Chains A and B, each alone.
Chain A
Amino acid sequence: MKRELVIIGGGPAGLAAAVEAHNNGINDILILERDKNLGGILQQCIHNGFGLHIFGEQLTGPEYSERFIKKVNELNIEYMLDTMVLNIDSSRKITALTPKTGVFEIEAGAVVLAMGCRERTRGALNIPGSRPSGILTAGAAQRFVNMEGYMVGKKVVILGSGDIGLIMARRMTLEGAEVKMVLEIMPYSTGLKRNIAQCLVDYDIPLYFNHTVVNIHGKNRLEGVTVAEVDEYRKPIAGTEKYVECDTLLLSVGLIPENELSKGAGIEISGITSGPVVDESMQTSVEGIFACGNVVHVHDLVDFVTQESYLAGKGAAKFIKGELSKSKKVISTLGENGIRYVVPQKINPDNVDDSVNFFMRVDNVYKNVFIEVLSEGKTVLKVKRPVVSPGEMENIKIKREILENINFNKLIFSLKEA
């Protein structure tokens, strides 16, 4: 079959891209989703706090995604559930699989990649010890508790202070479990400050920085973990080991953009974000293939995913209509001096409407700094931040006029002491 626009993934990114592509004149859209429902990870994020930027109110995850599902239905945008995409090639031919029709192929005029990310697991951490049940990623536990109706344990230790871990500390406590502690190997949290306040402080759950799990005990079911303090090189300090009895260990130790399909299509992947290198229209290095949301880089807030996905939907629509400029002028962005990465990595000012919102993460906690944007040694823009942290994404808007007037083809984002 032939379709104008195919969107891989029916989570917040895919839904927003579909709606925006439709708003820009594309009617022949197909969303492919591997789960039984649309909504993606928001289905299991039943806590509130979503939507402040986009809707100006606090919504729960399912409420946020439902607003987009409703739009998709109102606009008669077609979607297929239980559908797994197996391959995409650089000519935008998609191979997918459903239980009803088996394997099928689609030739797409444009593709939006919106596959999201997955969690790092125990295997990626190489924690020694036995292999009992009771060790789950925080997101897997969240799905069991919030969607499947299973309680996953009674005495819980959480490794990693990522947002899902913090949210699950509260959730498990509300459901009657004893959450003994949250351990963070770094000297700072990778989660949002407000989640430490409302998920840990509210329930007197201790958070230990510079601590990790060094051993796992138990044969059939987890019986306990050994925790230890780490030094500045994140190596356990001998003599600081403590045994903590628990039947459940939840891991909230990072998210990885899910890009097997992107790699198969020959798309250039950034070594830092683990996601596709994208331009101002969220187009990847392969013409006609766009990407948005957590598949590009891991976000803290779904609101920013939505904004980015609107860009991808609009970009794909422009591409289909032949309106996307292929001007030779391309500005590359680069993070330096504490800025780990900047997205988008490439800008063609011709395709910018009003401004570009650059997203970035820092590599450590810094206080009283300027985020400085430089071109050819000259300051283009400077914004002050009282504190920046790897756990909280920064964003800076730069107007089209400024981008048009940059002669040099590099835009450098850098931290400077205030």
Chain B
Amino acid sequence: MSKTNITCINCPMGCPLEITMENDIISVIGNKCNKGKEYAIREITNPTRIVTSTVKVNGGERPVVAIKTQDEIPKKLIFDVMKEINKVTINAPVNLGDIVIENVLNTNVNVIATANDKVK
């Protein structure tokens, strides 16, 4: 039997979660909603995160524009995804929701723009 204590990151409540694993059976206490339980199970089986950053823009009012992975990606890939993000330069205009990288590192997750940048 193994016990892990983590803080839920789903919302500002930041519930303290205690995860117990016994014979492949996972039980969670401390969560105040179902999202907390789902997070706890994911966290010890396949932890995932949303990555937010910026990419360079050519010809925009601003030199960079904010981006995010549209969904969560495996936590262990965060720095590899950052490398892909840092390779990219896009052209203005950029619209919120534009796809910046399709299916980044075969995660089935797109990197999308989260802000606008007009042509200078």
Contact = CB atoms under 8 A, between A and B. Distances in A.
A365 interface: no
A63 interface: yes
Contact of B12 (A145, A146, A147, A194): A194
Interface residues of A, number: 31
Interface string A177-220: 00000000000000011101110011000000000000000000
Contacts of A146: 54, 64, 66
A193 B53 CA distance: 22
Interface in B28-84: 49-54, 56, 61-64, 66-68, 75, 78-79, 82
A198 B14 CA distance: 11
B6 interface: yes
Interface stretch (A46-54, A274-282, A397-405, A409-417): A46-54
B54 A62 contact: no
Interface in A61-116: 61-63, 66
B115 A66 contact: yes
Contacts of B67: 46
Nearest to B82: A174
Nearest to A393: B12
Contacts of B62: 147-149
A47 B7 CA distance: 18
Nearest to B43: A197
Contacts of A58: 50
A165 B16 CA distance: 22
Contacts of A192: 12, 14
A62 B114 contact: yes
B54 A60 contact: no
Interface string B81-93: 0100000000000
A356 interface: no
B56 A149 contact: yes
Interface string A25-43: 0000000000010000001
Contact of B63 (A36, A52, A148, A194): A148
Given A46-B53, A197-B14, A202-B75, A66 B116 contact: yes
A301 interface: yes
Which of A52, A194, A300 has the most B CB atoms < 10 Å from its CB? Answer: A194
A392 interface: yes
A376 B7 CA distance: 40
Contacts of A49: 12
Nearest to B115: A62
A174 B11 contact: no
Interface string B1-26: 00000111111101010000000000
Contact of B68 (A48, A174, A197): A48
A110 B42 CA distance: 51
Interface in A367-404: 392
B68 A60 contact: yes
A66 B117 CA distance: 12
Interface string A141-160: 00001111100000000000
Contacts of B115: 43, 46, 62-63, 66
B75 A194 contact: no
A62 B14 CA distance: 23
B96 interface: yes
A406 B50 CA distance: 48
B66 A60 contact: yes
Nearest to A392: B12
B114 A60 contact: yes
Nearest to A301: B12
B52 A197 contact: no
Nearest to A43: B115
A300 B64 CA distance: 27
Contact of B9 (A36, A43, A147, A197): A197
A148 B64 CA distance: 7
A60 B52 contact: yes
Interface string A107-149: 0000000000000000000000000000000000000011111
Given A63-B114, A63-B115, A174-B53, 16 more contacts: A36-B61, A46-B114, A48-B50, A52-B12, A66-B96, A66-B116, A148-B64, A175-B53, A175-B82, A193-B7, A194-B7, A194-B11, A197-B14, A201-B7, A300-B12, A301-B12
8 contacts: A46-B52, A47-B52, A58-B50, A62-B114, A63-B115, A146-B54, A149-B56, A174-B51
Interface of A: 36, 43, 46-49, 52, 58, 60-63, 66, 145-149, 174-175, 192-194, 196-198, 201-202, 300-301, 392
3 smallest beta-carbon distances between A and B, as pairs? A193-B14, A62-B115, A149-B63
